[in-house]
């Protein structure tokens, strides 16, 4: 349970459901309700597909390329730390100043994929986190499945946030979303530092 809770906190802070709300508002605020729902569902489905792929096959790809998971932990920790700095300084999400009105279903699908699904929801930090938390050598298949289940729960929270995005935005405003994103960034920075230290410890066999 402690590991699952840690996975939930890690994925929740990096995926940052509240942080995607301003992006969604920017690209869909003037769209018809039907289009807004399509964008939300499409974005979460695409994000789930991308993250599930890396959760299931990510380590096989690393092994095929001759990259150890310890090295990937260090690289991932560095990337997460840079991503955390972006969150803290407010540049981790795509520009949300210009509203876009989808004119057709195809436009709605394009907006759902970019910038909402990638990189706002399933960004580099999320991909690195899901690969590290489904380590084949460290966790059983059941544990990995549980982690992927936690990821889907977080994406479910993202979907709910997108579907009620206007209410959330009225409640907290851009300033509130910015504050939450920065707090998440601070937590992510700590997680990233821990990942680098764990990777170095495993690579050099410290404490083995």
Three-state DSSP string of 188-208: HHHHHHHHHHHHHHHHHCCCC
pLDDT of residue 183: 82
Q: Which residues of the chain fall short of a pLDDT of 50? A: 95-102, 208
The model carries a pTM of: 0.74
| Cα-based distances in Å from 158 to 85, 136, 169, 204 | 22, 27, 14, 38
Residue 27: partners with Cβ closer than 8 Å, 6 or more residues away: 39, 96, 99, 100, 111, 115, 116
What are the tens digits of pLDDT across the range 32-77?
788 888 889 999 999 999 999 999 998 888 888 888 777 877 887 8
- Unique residue bearing structure tokens 């979907």: 159
pLDDT of residue 109: 62
What are the tens digits of pLDDT across the range 2-13?
888 989 988 998
Number of H helices, E strands in the chain: 8, 0
User: What does the alpha-carbon distance between residue 159 and residue 17 come to, in Å, rounded to a whole number?
Assistant: 8
Q: For the chain, how many residues are written?
A: 208
User: What does the alpha-carbon distance between residue 101 and residue 36 come to, in Å, rounded to a whole number?
Assistant: 10
pLDDT of residue 207: 59
Considering only the C-alpha atoms of the chain, give the largest distance between any 2 of them, rounded to a whole number of Å. 59
Handedness of CA 159, 161, 167, 170 (dihedral sign): negative
Report CA dihedral (179, 147, 43, 162) to the nearest 10 degrees: -40
User: What does the alpha-carbon distance between residue 129 and residue 127 come to, in Å, rounded to a whole number?
Assistant: 5
pLDDT of residue 96: 46
pLDDT of residue 107: 58
């Amino acid at each position: 349970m402690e590991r699952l809770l840690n996975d939930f906190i890690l994925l929740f802070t990096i995926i940052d459901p509240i942080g995607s709300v301003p992006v969604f508002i920017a690209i869909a605020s003037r769209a018809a309700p039907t289009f807004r729902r399509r964008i939300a569902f499409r974005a979460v489905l695409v994000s789930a597909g991308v993250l599930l792929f890396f959760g299931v096959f990510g380590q096989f790809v690393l092994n095929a390329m001759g990259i150890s998971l310890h090295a990937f932990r260090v690289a991932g920790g560095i990337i997460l730390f840079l991503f955390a700095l972006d969150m803290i300084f407010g540049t981790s999400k795509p520009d949300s100043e210009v509203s876009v009105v989808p004119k057709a279903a195809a436009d709605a699908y394009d907006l759902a994929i970019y910038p909402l699904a990638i990189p706002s929801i399933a960004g580099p930090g999320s991909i690195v986190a899901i690969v590290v938390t489904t380590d084949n050598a460290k966790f059983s298949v059941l544990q990995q499945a549980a982690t992927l289940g936690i990821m889907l729960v977080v994406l479910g929270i993202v979907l709910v946030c997108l579907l009620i995005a206007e209410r959330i935005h009225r409640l907290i405003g851009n300033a509130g979303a910015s504050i939450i994103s920065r707090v998440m960034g601070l937590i992510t920075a700590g997680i990233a530092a821990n990942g680098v230290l764990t990777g170095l410890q495993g690579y050099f066999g410290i404490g083995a």
